[in-house]
Amino acid sequence: WQLEAELRVAASEGQFIPYYQPKFELATGAITGFEALVRWQHPTRGLLSPVHFIDAIIAHKLSFELFSQIAIQIAKQLSIWQKQGFLQHICINADAAEFSHPNFSEMVSNLLTQHEISTHQLHIEVTESSLIQRHSNVKKQLELLKELGICLALDDFGTGYASLSYLQEYPFDFIKIDKSFISNIENNPTQHAIVKAILDLGNALNMQVIAEGIETEEQRDVLFAMGCKQGQGYWLSRPVPADSATNMLIQQY
């Protein structure tokens, strides 16, 4: 199929929509925020997961278009939730290519002002793998975002080539432990030791640590006992459409 041509149509016609996966306090299960995960509402193929098109988006330099489209929908959603009294944050994924756009932070800042959203309600997460190329503009843009008051998370921590140096180089507030270290944490001493070390590191560096890919109550219990405070995973919920996310918030209060 004509992937590139179809992606360009999708970008111009607004076929990309966010799904929302809750992040929660391990102690209580209370929802602290949501990660927005893009889906492609394809006119004939139905709802497509980003694993089928994210690489093509990046290769064809459509990252900024995708980010803008998702960011606008998130800003609107935050504004709706704010009016309903829900002050949870939404976290949006960005790959480093997006930061190479010189107006990235300005675009984000304008969007927040326009929708009267406070900057601390938007988080941005960057995957380690996307930092490898070291786009020259990435550090500058991350620092500008940070100055705006936007929280930055380093995603998939531990799977990149230079995990520790990224912590030194860029101003992250959150570390997200990759789900490959959580998948069997209740039985696997190696995973347990790695997660323990990441939690200690986060503590020492004053960064908050979020465990990804929590699928079972047992994994939640183990992580909680280790001192991990925040998590995300199928145990609480898969990524869901906006109305289901709203229902989760309503049920919580």
Residue closer to Mn ion by CB (options 37, 145) is 37
DSSP state of 24: E
Binding mask 151-190 for Na ion (x = CB under 5 A): ----x-----------------------------------
- Minimal distance, residue 174 CB to ligand G, in Å: 12
Place of tokens 């004509």: 2
- Minimal distance, residue 176 CB to ligand G, in Å: 7
Which of ligand G, Na ion, Mn ion, none is residue 65 near (CB under 5 to 8 Å by kind)?
none
Quick one: how many helices (H) and strands (E) in the chain? Answer: 11, 9
Q: State which residue has the least CB distance to Na ion.
A: 155
- The residues of the shown chain that bind ligand G, judged by CB under 6 A, are 21, 37-38, 49-51, 54, 66, 70, 93-95, 127, 155-156, 179, 212-215, 233-234, 239
| 46-48/208-211 β-pairing | unpaired
8, 132, 140, 252 from 65: Cα distances, Å = 9, 22, 20, 34
- Minimal distance, residue 155 CB to ligand G, in Å: 5
DSSP state of 160: S
- Beta bridge mates, 25: 230
Residue closer to ligand G by CB (options 38, 199) is 38
Residue closer to ligand G by CB (options 21, 121) is 21
Residue closer to Mn ion by CB (options 6, 178) is 178
Distant-in-sequence, close-in-space partners of 149: CB < 8 Å, separation ≥ 6: 118, 119, 120
Helix, coil or strand: residue 213 = coil
Residue closer to ligand G by CB (options 49, 84) is 49
Would you count residue 93 as binding Na ion (CB under 5 A)?
yes
Closest CA to 38 of 51, 56, 29: 51
Which of Mn ion, Na ion, ligand G, none is residue 213 near (CB under 5 to 8 Å by kind)?
ligand G
* Residues in binding contact with Na ion, number by CB under 5 A: 3
Number of Cβ atoms within 10 Å of the Cβ of 141: 23
